[in-house]
Structure formats: C-alpha cells, structure tokens
Structure 1
Amino acid sequence: MSESYGTTAPDLSGVKHYDVDALGTRIHVAEVGEGPMVLFVHGFPESWYSWRHQLPAVAAAGYRAVAIDVRGYGRSSAPAAVDDYRMVRHVADNVGVVRALGEDTAVIVGHDWGAPIAWSSALLRPDIFTALGLVSVPYNARSDFKPSAAFRMMGGDKEFYIEYFQQPGRAEAEMEVDLPHWLLGMYFSASGDGVRARQASGDSSGGGFGVAPGGKLSDNFVWPEEGSWPHWMAESDFGYYTSEFTRTGMSGGLNRYRNVDRDWEDMAAFDGAAITQPSLFVGGEVDGPTVWGAGSIAKFGETMPNLHKSVILDGIGHWVQQEAAAELNAELLDFLAAL
C-alpha cells in the first residue's frame, strides 16, 4: 500500500508530548513552538494527530501550537459515566489546559465536535479564549428547539446518525467488530474523495448519515479501492488512528453525542448568544455539516459579528485540516496575523 501524500508529510520531530492535570482531568497534550498559544480541539473519530499539518506550520509562524486528545480519546482520561462528557466538562478541560501550560489566554480552533467545544469555550470564558476558529461545523446559537427533536426531523424515515449513537453500546457493537474496516469507511465516505467515488458509481443517496430500520451506519459507506489510500492519508496515518481506537474503544468519543440534550439544558443562559471575539470559519464544499449549516453560515453577520472571514473550499469534504492542509494553514495564519 502506498505511503505517498498529496501534500508533504509534516515534520513532527519537534512536537513534545505530555499529560497535564486540567482541573482534575488528565489531558494529553502535543505541543510545539513558542509565542501566543493556539489550542486545537479535534472531533470524532480523531485525535491530536488530526492537526499534524497545522502544528508545525503555526509554530513556524511564531505561535505556541497545542493540540489535545479530547477526554475519552487517546491518552486523555476516559470517565465511565456518560454525563461526564457534557459540554461544560469539555470547556473546563480547555480552561485547565491553558492554566496548566502557564498561559492566561489562547486562540481556540475546533473541528467537527471540536467546533462546538471551541465555541462553547469562547462563550463561557471569553476572558481566556480571545479568538475562535471553526472548521467544518459553523456556529449555531442555542435555540428553543431541543437537539434530539431536530435530529429526528433530519433523519426522515431513517435514524439520523446522532440518534443512532444515543444508546450506549449500540454503535460500539457495529464499529468494534472490525474497527479498522469501519474507520477506513468512515474516513473515506465523509471525505471529498468518498463523495466523488459515490457520484462516479451513480449513487445519489447523499452519503451514509442515515440508518435504515435494522441497519447499520456503515451500510452506506464506501471504501477506497483495494491497495490504495486517499491522497490526504498515508497508511501510517491510518495506523496511528486504528492503534489509538483499538486501545481505547469508541465509547469515549460516542459519549459526546449522548449529551446533546444535557448541553441544551446546561447552556440555556446562552440562548441566542453571539460570539463577540474575532472569529474564522473554514468549511468544505461537500462536507455534510457545512452543507447542512448553510443557514447558520448565512447568519454569521448576526451570530459572529467580528468574523474575519468565512471560507468554503471547493471539492473538500469533512476532514478539512487533512484534505486541504495547505489551504487551511494559509487561512489560519492570515487570521492569526490579523489579531
């Protein structure tokens, strides 16, 4: 299998790894560089490693680039209780990381589930998180519509994938039978390559985000051709992800989804709140959350009044920081320089 990259493999030789006590939670940190702190928060199913292209680029521009394993992932703590993954706990982890590293403030950047974690951190602690970058998932202010009800509507005659993830053990039973196969299908299907492969086969289903009665999420996945890899992922990259999830299992990541209604209740005081810090949004043209979030993007003038830029990258799918590393790096460095 090929180890080639569509983009140059990043030099991670300068990245330091250690665990910190983040207000009582063990959080694993990958850090490189010196200067103002930029904190990167990943999504599902990923790790600090998803920011491998951004860490050295941001450090080279004069910043302290820090990526974490979110609680439940990698080498960070993985509490057993589902409600230990509610949003306020994630915000506390981010505050704890900034303090543990001896900083007073940080720019925070999040992708996928990391985006709501990042914007919630900015809402709850604007004194610490002074600027915000969102990748893939646009800011959507809390409304009076309960998330579980919204997801039921999105699913139609199928279960929307977030509904499918709600019952502890159910999605794990699908994923962990053959975890490498499931992960590869997930990564490829949600990427721009997967969207194009589906289109080339004449499949107009729109992707594998709905689960038919009695079915599995992976029923609608597509996989790369045997012996090949997406241009943005080498075999060694995939090996890192599979080794991490084989060791930890999937429950820690899935438990984030199982708190959407708790978060809605916890964040009631921030209903309709705008993000007032300088902000950036970068999405992919064929990324599901970006496409579904078109209405939220259209409201950025109200919900993120200090928006620096909103960028949609042509042909890019969900894994923006990997599929379009150079483009995202350029937008991040332009944003950071403007601060």
Structure 2
Amino acid sequence: MSQQPAPSPELTHRTVPSPAGRIHLVEQGTGPLVLLLHGFPESWYSWRHQLPVLAAAGFRAAAIDVRGYGRSSRPGDVAAYRMRELVEDNAAVVHALGERSAVVIGHDWGATIAANSALIRPDVFRAVGLLSVPYTPRGGPRPSEVFAGMGGGEEFYVSRFQEPGRAEAEIEPDVRGWLAGFYAAFSADTMPAPDAPDPHFAGPGATLRERFPGRRPGWLGEAELDFYAGEFERTGMSGALNRYRNMDRDWEDLADFDGAPVTQPSLFLGGSLDASTTWLADAVAAYPTTLPGLVSSHILDGCGHWIQQERPEEVNPILTDWLASLPV
C-alpha cells in the first residue's frame, strides 16, 4: 500500500470540544468562516481541492470529520448520531474557532446536516450551500416506511444499513475494496449503464458489492483510496453508518420544523448523472418555496455523485463566486 498523501504545510489540523467530545477539523486561510461537511463514506479529505481555493479567495475554510468519522469522537450509542446532535457539534465548532457565525456547505449527508444546521441554528449559520442532495423539508411518512417500499423485491441500501452490524459485516472484511467499488458505482466515468442492475439495491440474499464496478474512477488514485481506506480501517464503519440509523429519530425530533423552509442565502450544486439529485428533482423544483433565499442553482452535465472531487475545476469557482456575493 502506498503512503498516504502528506497534507499541505498550509493546512492546520486541530481538535475542538463539542457535544460529541471532540471534533477534528482541517483549516486553511483567514477571513469569514466557511464550515465544510462531508458525506458517507468520506472525511474532511473530500474537501482537499476546495480548502486552498477558498483560502486563496479570502475565506477561513474549515473541513471537519463529522461525529463518528476520522479523528472525531465516536460515541457508542446509536442514538448519539441524530441530526440535532450533529447540528450542535457544528455550532460548537464555530464557537470553538472564535467565531459567532459561519457559512455552512455540505455534500451528501453533509448537505442534509448543513441544511438542518441553518434551519435549527439560524443564529450561527448565515448561509448554506448544498452539494448533490437537495433540501427536502421534514414531512410525510416515516423514512423507514418510505425506503421499505422501494425496489420491489430488492432491498434499498438505506434499509440495508439500518440494522447495526449488518452492513459492517459486508464492508469491514475488505474496507479498501468495498470503498473503491462504492465510489466507482456513483462516479460518472465508472457507474453502471442505465440498463444494468442498480447498485443502490441488492437482490434477495445478495450484497451491494456484487453490483459495484470493477474499474476505479479517474478522481480516485492510489493515494486517495489509501487515505480513505486507512481512516475506515482504523475507525470501523459503525460511526459512519449510524447516521442512517437515526432517520426515524430525526423525523420525530424535527416535528416542529415540519415543512419549514431554509430562508438564509443558499446555493445548490448537483450532477446530472447523480441519483441523489435526479431522484429528488421535485425537491429542486420546490426551491422557490423551500429555499426562498436561493442565490444560484447548478446541475453539472455528465457529473456523478462525488461532485467536488470529480469536477473541482467547475465546483470551485461556483463556490467562491457565491461566497463573495454574500453579505458579511
């Protein structure tokens, strides 16, 4: 296995106190604070292409390891990964960095956490950027009921992740191989053809991995895969998977926010080939109601799910232009 890539000397690693215990973050630059939240199964490292660009544009960019990942605390209780807890982690990071407010930007699960951070703590988060996963207000039936009805006779990956230990048993014997396949399954240059079996689902008695491509996407070199695999080989997968295991708790916890819009200035970026974006096309269409502060919305043609890693040359100027447009 090749050595993990050395961080730029301009990057500063630190841990700060939070309700989780500690949150690890990597920051670069000075200026207005921008908090960057990763998704599953990633880490602060998924923002490696954005940190120096945001810093050069005059911002203090801080990419965290979300609770359960990397060097951040990993509580043993599954319920410790509910949305309200993650929102309070984010607010604690802002305050620990000596700031009163921040812009929050998230990808994948990080986008959902970012939107809820803006919704629940508007006193801290003055603007929100969402990558890949659109904002959908709380509402409708319990999420577990929705996911159980998907796929016909096949099992949706979110349902598969619900039982503690089950997904871990598939992933942890070969973390590196599973991650490589998962990243490839949802990258534009390696995802299965539209008429191939969908890797979001597993057939009866099968695993998700059986539908993963055998090729590696262009953005994922040896060094990148080594970094991600090294993190999850060290921590295990349970902390990351526990986010999925709180979706019904979130539905209960956020009842007071049923249908609530996020009103701060906002940005959305999605990929035209990303199911996380295309399946939620109705949510994007509802933005005039659900994101009334939307400043700009972009769908990158031919882009998959890992948007800021697949297409940083397009994502970075969109982010910096939007950030520059925000009142301080």
TM-score category (smaller protein): over 0.9
Match of 1:205 in 2: 196
- Distance apart, 1:221 and its partner CA: 0.7
Would the aligned equivalents of 1:12 and 1:56 in 2 still touch at CA under 8 Å? no
Aligned match of 2:128 = 132
Partner amino acid for 2:58?
Answer: G
Q: Distance in 2 between matches of 1:131 and 1:326?
A: 23
What residue identity is the alignment partner of 2:196? S
Which of 20, 31, 37 is the matching residue for 1:35? 31
User: Are 2:211 and 1:215 equivalent residues in the alignment?
Assistant: no
Q: What secondary structure does 1:166 align onto?
A: coil
Which residue in the other structure is 1:144 paired with?
Answer: 140
Identity of aligned residues (%): 54
**One-letter amino acid of the counterpart of residue 292, structure 2:** P
Moved more, 215-224 or 58-67: 215-224
- Counterpart of 1:156? 152
Q: Is the 8 A contact 1:2 1:234 kept in 2?
A: no
The alpha carbon displacement at 1:306 in A equals: 1.0
TM-aligned CA deviation for residue 127 of structure 1: 1.1
* Counterpart contact for 1:10–1:56, Cα < 8 Å: no
Secondary structure, aligned partner of 2:105 = strand
- SS of corresponding position for 2:15: strand
Q: Is contact 2:266–2:296 with CA below 8 Å preserved after alignment? A: yes
**SS in structure 1 at match of 2:130:** strand
Q: 2:171 aligns with which of 172, 175, 180?
A: 175
Map 1:179-194 → 2, pairs under 5 A: 179-194=175-190
Query: Equivalent residue of 1:19, what SS?
Result: strand
3-state SS of paired residue (1:274): coil
User: Are the aligned partners of 1:54 and 1:329 in contact in 2 as well (CA < 8 Å)?
Assistant: yes
Give RMSD over aligned pairs. 1.7
1:207 Cα deviation (Å)? 2.8
CA contact (8 A) 1:10 1:52 kept: no
| Residue 25 (1) aligns with residue 21 (2) | yes
What does the per-residue CA deviation read over 1:256-309, in whole Å, with 9 as the maximum and x for residues that have no partner? 000000000000000000010000000011111101110100101110011011
1-side partners of 2:214 and 2:37: how far apart?
A: 27
Q: Does 1:277 align with 2:273?
A: no
Partner of residue 75, structure 2: 79
Letter in 2 for 1:98: V
Q: Deviations over 1:186-222 (max 9, x none)?
A: 0111110122xx32xxx61363001111111112111
Give the whole-Å Cα distance in 2 for the aligned partners of 1:281 and 1:206: 29
- Secondary structure (helix, strand or coil) at the match of 1:191 reads coil
Say whether the 8 Å CA contact 1:25–1:93 is kept in structure 2. no
1:291 aligns with 2:287: no
Name stretches of at least 5 consecutive residues in structure 1 with no aligned partner. 4-8
Would the alpha carbon gap of residues 104 and 206 (structure 1) be closer, same or farther in structure 2, given more than 3 Å must change?
farther
Instruction: State yes or no: 1:321 paired with 2:308.
Output: yes
Query: Which one is further off, 283-292 or 11-20?
Result: 11-20
What is the aligned partner in structure 1 of residue 231 from structure 2?
Answer: 244
On the 8 A contact 2:2/2:226 being kept in 1, the answer is no
In structure 2, distance between residues paired with 1:281 and 1:242: 29
Cα shift at 1:144: 2.7
Alignment TM-score, normalising by the size of structure 1: 0.93
Most deviating of 253-262 and 149-158: 149-158
Deviation at 1:45, TM superposition (A): 0.3
Moved more, 63-72 or 20-29: 20-29
Question: Deviation of residue 153 (structure 1)?
Answer: 2.0
User: Are the equivalent residues in 2 in contact too, given 1:189–1:223 (CA < 8 A)?
Assistant: no
In 1, the alpha carbon distance for the partners of 2:281 and 2:171 equals 30
Q: Offset of 1:232 from its aligned partner?
A: 1.4
8 Å contact from structure 2 (residues 128, 267) kept in 1: yes
Distance across 2 between alignment mates of 1:126 and 1:334: 22
Aligned-residue offset at 1:137: 0.1
Structure 1 letter corresponding to 2:44: W
Give the C-alpha shift of residue 11 in structure 1. Answer: 7.6
Q: Deviations over 1:120-163 (max 9, x none)?
A: 10000111100000000000011132111111122322111000
Unaligned runs of 5+ in 2: none
- Alignment: residue pair count: 325
Question: 1:262 is matched with which residue?
Answer: 249
- 1:16 maps to what in 2? 12
Distance 1:109 1:154, change over 3 A: same
Equivalent residue letter for 1:329: N
Moved over 4 A (4+): none
The answer to which of 203-212 and 156-165 deviates more is 203-212
